[in-house]
Structure 1
């Protein structure tokens, strides 16, 4: 980029994961976490407000259809999206759909 840190928005329903991911990313001086969101509606608001360079989007949030959120992100402001996914068969299918909709990559969430 232009010497500026990459601006990241973290979207996950888990406050613990938002905090953990944000702290990890903020430890790199080439990355700045500009905000976080707990659901799709908040994510869309913050994308418009904060204009991140990258969005990290949880694929499994209650009361949120993450694929619809991803479609809206791609139609409004096609920012690169990295998906957070669980390591199970159903989540894998959902993640593949997300990649087909325009997400650039995915990261597996740690399993318990």
Structure 2
């Protein structure tokens, strides 16, 4: 299972996304491991371009269910459940669901 945090270095929501990831790993009962990609870094792989910041990918899929926006230098807003409140990080439940879904079909969890 591959977990990636994609961000733009000036985004104010990076720390919040990391905290949300840590909580989600704990809730899912998994050891926290992920790779981070700064969008403007030339070493960032092509598949992370086009996502706003921050984006969390589990096996290449955005945990929010959204696709590539095409504007990777902007901050994202996520709708939070039934309230529809906007927040700068994905909902913990969305991350947990993605982790659990992939963990149940993945036999290995490589080191990041």
Structure with the bigger percentage of strand: 1
**TM class, shorter-chain normalised?**
0.3 to 0.5
Which protein has greater RCO, CA pairs closer than 8 Å, 6+ apart? 2
TM-score, reference length from structure 2: 0.33
TM-score, reference length from structure 1: 0.33
